[in-house]
Amino acid sequence: MRFGTDGFRGPIETEITPEFCLNLGFHTGKIILEKGYDSVIIGKDTRVSGYMLESALQAGFISSGVDVKLAGPIPTPAVSFLTATYAGQFGVVISASHNPYEDNGIKFFNRHGRKVTENLEREIESRLSSAIKPVEASKLGKAFRIDSASGRYIEYCKSTLRGKHSFKNMKILVDAANGANYKITPMLLEELGAEVIRINCDPDGFNINVNSAVLNQSLFKKYAEEHKFDFCAAVDGDGDRLVLADADGIVFDGDDILYLLAKSNLERNVNGSNAVVGTDMTNQGVADALAKHNIDLIRSKVGDKYISRELVERDLILGAETSGHIIQRNYSESGDANIALIQVLTAIQESGVSLKEVSSEISKYAHNLESIAVKDKTIIEKEENQKALNEVKEKFPSARINIRASGTESKIRIMVESKDDKQNAQVLREIKSLIT
C-alpha cells in the first residue's frame, strides 16, 4: 500500500487491517527513533474500528521501543497542535476523514505539526515488507493517556482570538458529522458566548459522516427551513474541513473562506498576506477577486499536505481547498475547522459585512465536478488515454480541465471550469466517454 493524498486509507477488512497497522507502527517507530523522536501521540475519530486499529498501532510502536500517548477521539488538527507543543513528539491520526465507517486510515504529523515529507513517506513504504523484530524487553515502549487533550486544544483555539471577541447574541447550528468534533466545536462556541444547535453530534461508531451537510450541502437549505440561526457550521468526520452557510442556507465553501480570510489578513497588515495558496480545484473567480486586492493565488496539487508544503516553502500563512481544508499558519500548521470557524466569525464581526456580501465580490466561473468509480485508477495514465484527453483539452481551450486519480478512493475525479456551463457539460461528456 502507498501513501495517498492524506496518508493510508481503505477498507478495514482488506487494507487498513490490524496486521497492517501493527506492521506500520513497528517500522514507523524504528524510523522516527532514528530521527530523534522519543514518543508518538495517537488520536482517532469516532469510527468503531478506531479502537481495534489504535491497539494494533500501539503494539507496533511499543514493540519498536517508542512510547505512546493516547489522546482518544479528537480532531485531526488537535493532534497537529499536540505534536507541535509536546517536545520530541510524532503524531498519528486514525481516520478516513469523509469516508464511510467501513473505511479507516492512518496519517502522520512531524514535530512541527505538519504532514510528513515525501521522503519520509517513501522511507516508511520501503520498510513495510520487512519482518517485525521487537526490541528486547528492557527497551520496549510504554503507553500513557493524555486526559487533558481536548481541553488543551479548546483553550488554544480560544487563545487565537486573544480575548478580543465573543460570540454573544449569535446562534450557530453545528453539524459535526457524528465525528471527532462532536463535543469540541459546540463546546468551543458556547465558551465564546454563542448559543448552539447540535446536529449530528451523537456518534455511535457507525454513523460518522452519514447525512452530514459537509458532504450533502443541500442539507443547509433544510436546516435553514427548520431552524433559526445566524450561521450554520458543518465539519467532516475528522474535523479538519469546514463549510459554512448563512441564515438562508446559502453555502460558503473553502474558496469563499480563503477570500474572506485573505482580505482580513491584508487589512490587518499580517506578514505573508501578499499571496495565498489554493489548489487546481480553486475557482478562477477567486483568483480574479484576489487579484483586485493585489493578492496572488498560487495553485498546488489537490490535498492539504501539498498546500502546507507550498506555504512553508514560500513562507506564506494562508491556504485552502475548496472542500474546506483551511490552513492558517499563524495559528496552526494543519487544516483546522474550529480555528477557521472562529476566525471567519471574527472577520465578519470586524468588517460588518455578511457572508452573502463577501460572496458577491467573487464572480465564480461555472464549475463542474464529477467522480467516476473505476477498478483501476491508473487508466488515465495510459498513453492512448493521455493522448485522447489532451485532444479534448485542445478542443476546448477556454476551459480549465483537471483530471486526477483520487488519493483516497477508487475513483477518477474530473473538474471542468469555464464561463460557459453548457461547454462544461459537453467537455464532461467527452471525458467520461473516454474513461468509461
Q: What's the pLDDT band for 422 if we cut at 50, 70, 90?
A: confident
pLDDT of residue 203: 98
CA separation for the pair 238, 107 (Å, rounded): 11
C-alpha closest to that of 33 among 67, 84, 9: 67
| Residues 283-297: b if buried by 16+ CB within 10 A, e if exposed | bbbbbebbeeeebeb
pLDDT at residue 82 above 70?
Answer: yes
CATH topology assigned to domain 366-435:
TATA-Binding Protein (3.30.310)
pLDDT of residue 345: 96
64 or 433: whose pLDDT is higher? 64
Percent of the chain whose predicted confidence (pLDDT) is above 70: 99
pLDDT of residue 371: 83
Over the stretch 208-230, which tens digit does the pLDDT of each residue have?
A: 999 999 999 999 999 999 999 99
3-class secondary structure per residue, 357-412: HHHHCCCCCEEEEEEEECCCHHHHHCHHHHHHHHHHHHHCCCCEEEEEECCCCCEE
Average pLDDT over residues 13-17: 95
Q: What's the pLDDT band for 32 if we cut at 50, 70, 90?
A: very high
381 or 161: whose pLDDT is higher? 161
CA separation for the pair 39, 182 (Å, rounded): 27
pLDDT of residue 426: 87
C-alpha closest to that of 102 among 239, 214, 212, 205: 205
pLDDT of residue 258: 97
- What is the SS3 assignment for 6? coil
Q: Which of 2-11, 38-47, 121-130, 184-193 has the lowest mean pLDDT?
A: 2-11
Average pLDDT over residues 411-427: 86
Q: CA 427 from chain center: how many Å? A: 29
CA separation for the pair 58, 48 (Å, rounded): 17
pLDDT of residue 355: 92
Mark residue 143 as left, alpha or beta (left: phi above 0; alpha: psi -120 to 50; beta: remaining).
beta
Boundaries of every domain in the chain: 8-147, 153-250, 254-333+352-360, 366-435
Mark residue 141 as left, alpha or beta (left: phi above 0; alpha: psi -120 to 50; beta: remaining).
beta
CA separation for the pair 406, 416 (Å, rounded): 16
pLDDT of residue 408: 67
Over the stretch 314-372, which tens digit does the pLDDT of each residue have?
A: 999 999 999 999 999 999 999 999 999 999 999 999 999 999 999 999 999 988 888 88
pLDDT of residue 88: 78
CA triple 141-143-237, angle to 5 deg: 125
CA separation for the pair 372, 210 (Å, rounded): 21
Average pLDDT over residues 56-82: 97
Over the stretch 234-250, which tens digit does the pLDDT of each residue have?
A: 999 999 999 999 999 99
Helices (H), 237-378: 254-267, 284-291, 304-314, 337-351, 355-360
Q: CA 171 from chain center: how many Å? A: 25
- What is the SS3 assignment for 201? coil
pLDDT of residue 7: 87
Same fold, 153-250 and 254-333+352-360: yes
Strand order of the β-sheet with 411-418 is 366-373, 411-418, 400-405
pLDDT at residue 409 above 90?
Answer: no
pLDDT of residue 387: 83
Please indicate whether residue 39 is annotated as part of the active site.
Answer: no
Q: What's the pLDDT band for 379 if we cut at 50, 70, 90?
A: confident
pLDDT of residue 36: 93
C-alpha closest to that of 240 among 153, 298, 301, 314: 153
Percent helix, strand, coil in the chain, to 5, is 40, 25, 40
CB 12 within 8 A of CB 53: yes
Over the stretch 135-192, which tens digit does the pLDDT of each residue have?
A: 999 999 999 999 999 999 999 999 999 877 889 999 999 999 999 999 999 999 999 9
C-alpha cell at 150: 481536548
Given CATH 3.40.50.2000, say whether it is the number of domain 254-333+352-360.
no
Superfamily (CATH) of domain 8-147: Alpha-D-Glucose-1,6-Bisphosphate, subunit A, domain 3 (3.40.120.10)
Specify the pTM: 0.90
**Is residue 64 classed exposed, middle or buried when 0-12, 13-18 and 19+ CB atoms within 10 A define those classes?**
buried
Per-residue DSSP letter, 135: P
CA separation for the pair 380, 377 (Å, rounded): 7
pLDDT of residue 378: 75
Q: What's the pLDDT band for 384 if we cut at 50, 70, 90?
A: confident
Percent of the chain whose predicted confidence (pLDDT) is above 90: 77
Among residues 64, 80, 95, 97, the one annotated as catalytic is 97
pLDDT at residue 110 above 70?
Answer: yes
What's the mean per-residue pLDDT of the chain?
A: 93
CA separation for the pair 42, 78 (Å, rounded): 11
Average pLDDT over residues 285-300: 96
296 or 38: whose pLDDT is higher? 296
C-alpha closest to that of 327 among 80, 53, 35: 80
Determine the CATH number of domain 153-250.
3.40.120.10
Q: What's the pLDDT band for 6 if we cut at 50, 70, 90?
A: confident
pLDDT of residue 412: 84
Q: What's the pLDDT band for 1 if we cut at 50, 70, 90?
A: low
